[in-house]
Amino acid sequence: MQGVLIDTGVLLDYLQGNKQAQMALDGHAHRSISVVTWLEVMRRCPAHLVDATEGFLRTFERLSISEGVADEALNLIVDRPTLPENFALTWASARVNHLTFLTAESTFVQRGDEGVLMAYKRRPLLVEFKSQP
Inform me whether the pLDDT recorded for 12 exceeds 60. Answer: yes
Which homologous superfamily is 4-118 in?
5'-nuclease (3.40.50.1010)
pTM of the model: 0.86
Looking only at the bridges linking them, the beta strands covering 100-103 and 61-63 are unpaired
Distance of CA 97 to the CA centre of its chain: 14
- How does pLDDT run across 58-69, given as a tens digit for each residue? 999 999 999 999
- In the chain, % of residues over pLDDT 70: 90
